[in-house]
Structure 1
Amino acid sequence: MLDANDLRLFHEVAREGSFTGAAELLGYTQSAVSRRIAALERQAGGPLFVRLARGVRLTPAGAALRRHAEAVLDRLGKAEEELAAIHRGGGGTLRIGAFATANVWLVPQALKMFTARWPEVELRLVEGLSGRLLDRLEAGALDVAVVSDYPAGLPAEAETVPLLEERLLVALPLGHRLADREVIDLRDLAEETWIEAAPPGQTTILQAACARAGFTPRGGLRVAEWTGKFGYVAAGLGVTLVPELAARAVPDGLVLRPISEEGPRRKVYAALPEVPLPSALAFVELLGQ
């Protein structure tokens, strides 16, 4: 196992280009630096430096280790800063993942309140599909994820906090035969072509709702992004579902109509790691307001 202190010493030798320069900078003797670098080279399986008459030069193995050492030391430095900030009661970094339509209104409004209360926290935002966000959360790459069960549900083992349940509206092109209705019966859409991002081999919320209404939805083009779906609907190539959260982002050229009681709905959740950051808990609380 490579030791972080040895990596720091190695990095300084590489930057200074000499054992003596690194020793003076770090307060060691030149012989102590030489011994520790020799021990590190034994761990690494070969020379990391070429010893020259004046100074040292990295070997190919040393250049490779330097790249990794810089990344490791950078992460350790950020971890130390974040831990110190947490113990002070503020600061640090909050890495947030959210699905696309949550970024229309839900997440921005919560972040507006969050930044007013936690101004020292650095925010990083990742947008993606709910399943991928949960994978990143599990891998430790996110501190909180805003996810939904649309289009095909969430993994049963996902640890989540319920935030809201919303209707899924139907988006129609202008001039559609049903565009003048205030509410649309799902069965009246039985002959429509649907623009949907349906995961292969999975039953979607739309398919389940249509099955309860007594028909199978006619599949059309598969489009993952909401902005793309809007374009295809506006062109008259099909209809699609739009969450209420995204209603304000629908462009001109489309009509949104609620579906009667048997229509599909989706649930929105916040997912947290087993030991969440205080800032993540505060953000989730604001999401629920």
Structure 2
Amino acid sequence: MIEQLKTFVQVAESGSFSKAAEKLFISSTAVMKQMNLLEKQAGVPLFIRTNHGVRLTKAGITFIKDAEFMLQYFQESLIRMHQSAQTNRHMVRVGTSMLNPCNVLIELWNGISDLYPQFGINIVHFEDDAHTLPTTYRMIGQSLDIIAGPFLTDNLKDYYRMLKLGSYRVCFAISRQHRLASRKTLSIKDLYGERLAIVNGGESAIIHDIRDFLIMNHPQIRIKDVPRLYDLDVFNRCEESNTVMLTLEAWADIHPSLVTIPSDLDIEIPYGLIYPLHPSQEVDQFLEIIKEMQGNVLAKVE
């Protein structure tokens, strides 16, 4: 009905079905069909049709004022509705950084956000600094609601809850000038004689197991322990020293001078959402939506 009213007002202003069609970006036939239907619904003629155009009948002149009022009221009602939705909308604060990108959550949310207009996402950037990242984690539940990223710090489980969304494959990152840089994949034996930096400041059991496996079964690789969390400085140092680094496929574009190559370790690191042990009611509702979506996706796969 609203579209018919818009077309009626435009025809009345243009004095022609064809001119109204041009302004409305629809066909003249569509305009005539709408007006014929409107007249049928009204039960009286609204236009006097001539070879030179159309003009309103007395009934049409009376109706045009009501039509303009209804259209204006409809637009004002839409504005009030959107304002009300914005007022009641809860913004979920999601932390993001180069090594903890929030795109894994944003891509999920964009697919269903229209169904949940009461929620929005406010992206908060933080730096990947091994010295300040522990402080950033402490912001969860205060100035941040959620951080999305790989689960590389096992002791986080003692202080936060975690929702797994998927897994990243373990790879090797090496300088583009390295002798192995052109390889499509790297086997463990390809690294014999090389230095391999293994970052494990977060005391990840998976990374710890990889380190133990290599030391026990491949002593030809020189392990360089990095007792800190991953940050950009680690990437820089490995590139400068031509040291191979244990990394994740998700970080392939972090450093332009490093190339990330899949390994034959066939090991994955889980990633997902890190959030407070006791999230707010709104954040908990938001997470329940994500969990339900994940459940539906898994059900379809199975």
Q: Scaled by the length of structure 2, what TM-score is found?
A: 0.50
Please list every run of 5 or more consecutive structure 2 residues that lacks an aligned counterpart in the other structure: 1-82, 298-302
- Work out whether residues 102 and 245 of structure 1, in 8 Å CA contact, stay in contact via their aligned partners in 2: no
| 1:205, distance to aligned residue in structure 2 (A) | 3.9
| 1:268, distance to aligned residue in structure 2 (A) | 0.8
Instruction: State the match for 1:178 in structure 2.
Output: 180
Give yes or no for the alignment of 1:272 onto 2:282: no
Instruction: State the match for 2:190 in structure 1.
Output: 188
CA distance 1:191–1:92, change in 2 (3 Å): same
Pairs aligned (count): 200
Distance 1:146 1:108 in 2: 10
Give the letter aligned to residue 245 of structure 1. Answer: A
Instruction: State the match for 2:92 in structure 1.
Output: 94
CA distance 1:246–1:110, change in 2 (3 Å): farther
Cα deviations by residue, 1:185-227 (Å, 9 ceiling, x for unpaired)? 2343354324454328x46644421322424752166775644
Instruction: State the match for 1:255 in structure 2.
Output: 259
Instruction: State the match for 1:123 in structure 2.
Output: 122
Give yes or no for the alignment of 1:218 onto 2:223: yes
Distance 1:125 1:89 in 2: 21
Distance 1:227 1:286 in 2: 35
Give the letter aligned to residue 172 of structure 1. Answer: I
- Work out whether residues 190 and 218 of structure 1, in 8 Å CA contact, stay in contact via their aligned partners in 2: no
Alignment of 1:192-203 (within 5 A): 192-199=194-201, 202=203
Instruction: State the match for 1:33 in structure 2.
Output: none
| 1:270, distance to aligned residue in structure 2 (A) | 1.3
Instruction: State the match for 1:51 in structure 2.
Output: none
Give the letter aligned to residue 182 of structure 2. Answer: D
Give the letter aligned to residue 287 of structure 2. Answer: L
Match of 1:232 among 219, 237, 240: 237
Q: Which moved more, 1:124-133 or 1:226-235?
A: 124-133
| 1:267, distance to aligned residue in structure 2 (A) | 0.9
Largest Rg, 1 or 2: 2
Distance 1:143 1:209 in 2: 32
Give the letter aligned to residue 259 of structure 1. Answer: S
| 1:113, distance to aligned residue in structure 2 (A) | 5.4
Give the letter aligned to residue 256 of structure 1. Answer: T
Instruction: State the match for 1:153 in structure 2.
Output: 154
| 1:171, distance to aligned residue in structure 2 (A) | 1.0
Give the letter aligned to residue 123 of structure 1. Answer: N
Secondary structure at the aligned position of 1:103 is classed as coil
Secondary structure at the aligned position of 1:209 is classed as helix
- Work out whether residues 147 and 270 of structure 1, in 8 Å CA contact, stay in contact via their aligned partners in 2: yes
Distance 2:196 2:239 in 1: 13
Secondary structure at the aligned position of 1:242 is classed as strand
Distance 2:92 2:199 in 1: 30
Give the letter aligned to residue 255 of structure 1. Answer: V
